[in-house]
């Protein structure tokens, strides 16, 4: 007989049927007349209750079954007598696959997330992490479905690269050189000619530049893969290894770009509400009582569209009226998260798509506005998360783009292929990058980005 997954068993009304379920013990309660074992196999947040008549099984074996043990249970599916579940299993036979040692780190309820992070290899078996990881899966499916249904091609960009897409110098170097015997030339520079790729290479910070090559050939593409940033940001919003979704579209303008950003995020949130009901209900109860309300709220309203210059005016006005910020506000500065939070959480009370930033605080590839001072960049700012998307219309004019590259002293020899798109049939185009884990943070109500990826990579931490 094949095993029945817990998710299917719980939905079955085929009472009296003989079934086999397999999974890990969440709790085991004993009394004289009956034992109750709650079994979970990861297919759903819900457990199936196994009802055991202790006179029918080996007493020592039954006693040895503790939280975390792995079992195969054969029995009859019956309508539940008790409250809290509709079906349960009248146990006939238990096979123990694996007992669980008494020092099992996940047996106590209510452990801190900090503690669980130190046991990230086992935290996946808890209710919270099961829910988060299932939602993460469903979000990945939603993303592929959205783009596929809208005529985007899934396009794979390299992880090892010789160019710094964001020009921010936060790259992890890739080398096969013997670091104990590094040869240098007469100027003290490392010789890369004899390194694996014959040049200096790193892990990518973004697939955008290659994504632009795809979009200017296939029309519209999206990437969905890992990206790496060696920024020493020890915050609940930053990872050194995170997943990014980067659509890139030919013939798009600012308005269409912002429409795409908004429509895409709303689609993902709706997908979660439609497809992750049990897990969201659990998180709403245990982690954040306003989660469902917040997710539904996002779908109702239009996002605010706010040029940077207007945003700065609102912030300056707030300061005049007595609002205290840690950092002063002035045109030209990169807004601090306290400023973004004020606009999103206090002033508008909904997501904000900010646009038209001063060019000095944005990447070299953004299209310069006619004022010569601002660029067609957009950031989508979310309550509690801050920046969830960064995107822009790209500068498609060869001379203007070259001007920026030179002004910023970006090494040209690594950029020739990128510039070719502007030489051969250049076209208006643009796109954005969504941080996958930031989306998962929003959708799950979790507080720390380290708790929405199975094995987080952060400064001084690469365990598991």
Q: Which residues form the interface with Mg ion (CB under 5 A)? A: 390
- Residue 332: CB atoms within 10 Å: 11
Which residue in the shown chain puts its C-beta closest to Mg ion? Answer: 390
* 315 scored as a contact of ligand 4AD (CB under 6 A): no
Q: Which is nearer to Mg ion, 35 or 166 (CB)?
A: 166
Q: Which is nearer to Mg ion, 254 or 318 (CB)?
A: 254
Q: Tell me the pairing of strands 173-174 and 160-161.
A: unpaired
* 388 scored as a contact of ligand 4AD (CB under 6 A): yes
* 451 scored as a contact of ligand 4AD (CB under 6 A): no
**Min dist. Cβ of residue 313 to ligand 4AD (A):** 24
Among 88, 396, 437, 451, binds ligand 4AD (CB under 6 A): 437
Torsion-angle region of 320 (φ positive above 0: left; ψ -120 to 50: alpha; else: beta): alpha
DSSP string computed for 223-266: EEEEEE------STT--SEEEEEEEEEET--HHHHHHHHHHHHH
Q: Which is nearer to ligand 4AD, 35 or 212 (CB)?
A: 212
- Altogether, the residues listed in the chain come to a count of 464
Stretch that binds ligand 4AD, among 102-110, 179-187, 213-221, 429-437 (CB under 6 A): 429-437
Are 225 and 246 in contact, with CB atoms under 8 Å apart?
A: no
DSSP string computed for 9-41: HHH---TT-EEEEEEEEEEEEE-SS-EEEEEE-
* 421 scored as a contact of ligand 4AD (CB under 6 A): no
Stretch that binds ligand 4AD, among 83-91, 285-293, 294-302, 383-391 (CB under 6 A): 383-391
Q: Which two tokens stand for residue 135?
A: 């939602």
Return phi, psi of residue 188, to 5°: 80, 10
Q: Which is nearer to ligand 4AD, 47 or 208 (CB)?
A: 208
Stretch that binds ligand 4AD, among 143-151, 294-302, 333-341, 381-389 (CB under 6 A): 381-389
Considering CB distances under 5 to 8 angstroms, the limit depending on partner class, which of ligand 4AD, Mg ion, none binds residue 340?
A: none
Torsion-angle region of 378 (φ positive above 0: left; ψ -120 to 50: alpha; else: beta): beta
Considering CB distances under 5 to 8 angstroms, the limit depending on partner class, which of Mg ion, ligand 4AD, none binds residue 49?
A: none
Distances (CA, A) of 261 to 47, 216, 256: 38, 20, 9
Q: Which two tokens stand for residue 102?
A: 């008494």
Among 311, 390, 445, 456, binds ligand 4AD (CB under 6 A): 390
* 244 scored as a contact of ligand 4AD (CB under 6 A): yes
Residues in 203-232 at the binding interface with ligand 4AD, rule: CB under 6 A: 206, 208, 229, 231
Residue 420, class by beta-carbon neighbours within 10 Å (0-12 exposed, 13-18 middle, 19+ buried)? middle
* Residues in a beta bridge with 56: none
Residues at the interface with ligand 4AD (CB under 6 A): 165-166, 206, 208, 229, 231, 238-239, 242, 244, 246, 387-392, 431-433, 435, 437-438
């Amino acid at each position: 007989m094949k095993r029945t997954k817990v998710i299917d068993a719980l939905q079955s009304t085929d009472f009296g049927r003989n079934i086999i379920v397999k999974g890990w013990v969440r709790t085991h309660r004993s009394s004289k007349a009956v034992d109750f074992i709650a079994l979970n196999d990861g297919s759903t947040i819900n457990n199936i209750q196994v009802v055991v008549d202790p006179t029918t099984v080996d007493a020592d074996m039954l006693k040895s079954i503790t939280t975390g043990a792995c079992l195969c249970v054969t029995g009859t599916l019956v309508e539940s007598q008790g409250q809290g579940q509709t079906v349960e299993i009248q146990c006939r036979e238990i096979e123990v696959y694996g007992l669980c040692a008494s020092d099992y780190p996940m047996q106590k309820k209510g452990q801190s997330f900090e503690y669980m992070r130190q046991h990230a290899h086992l935290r996946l078996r808890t209710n919270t992490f099961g829910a988060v990881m299932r939602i993460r899966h469903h979000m990945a499916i939603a993303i592929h479905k959205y783009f596929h249904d809208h005529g985007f091609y899934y396009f794979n960009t390299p992880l090892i690269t010789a160019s710094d897409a964001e020009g921010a110098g936060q790259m992890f170097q890739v080398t096969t050189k013997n670091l104990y015997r590094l040869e240098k030339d007469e100027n003290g520079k490392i010789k890369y000619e004899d390194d694996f790729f014959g040049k200096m290479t790193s892990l990518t910070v973004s697939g955008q530049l290659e994504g632009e090559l795809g979009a200017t050939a296939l029309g519209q593409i999206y990437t969905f893969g890992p990206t790496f940033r060696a920024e020493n940001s020890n915050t609940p919003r930053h990872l050194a290894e995170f997943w990014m979704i980067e659509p890139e579209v030919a013939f798009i303008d600012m308005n269409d770009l912002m429409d795409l950003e908004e429509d895409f995020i709303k689609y993902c949130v709706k997908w979660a509400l439609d497809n992750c009901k049990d897990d969201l209900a659990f998180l709403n109860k245990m982690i954040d009582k306003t989660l469902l309300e917040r997710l539904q709220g996002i779908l109702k309203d239009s996002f605010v569209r706010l040029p940077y210059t207007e945003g700065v005016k609102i912030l300056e006005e707030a300061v005049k009226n007595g609002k205290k910020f840690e950092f002063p506000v002035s045109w030209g500065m990169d807004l601090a998260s306290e400023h973004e939070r004020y606009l999103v959480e206090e002033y508008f009370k909904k997501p904000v798509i900010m646009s038209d930033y001063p060019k000095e605080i944005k990447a070299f590839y953004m299209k310069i506005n006619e004022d010569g001072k601002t660029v067609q960049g957009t950031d989508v700012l979310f309550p509690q998360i801050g920046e969830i998307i960064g995107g822009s219309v790209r500068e498609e004019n060869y001379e203007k783009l070259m001007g920026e590259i030179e002004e910023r002293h970006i090494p040209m020899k690594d950029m020739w292929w990128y510039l070719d798109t502007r030489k051969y049939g250049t076209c208006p185009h643009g796109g954005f990058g969504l941080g996958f884990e930031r989306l998962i943070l929003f959708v799950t109500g979790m507080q720390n980005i380290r708790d929405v990826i199975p094995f987080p990579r952060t400064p001084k931490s690469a365990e598991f």
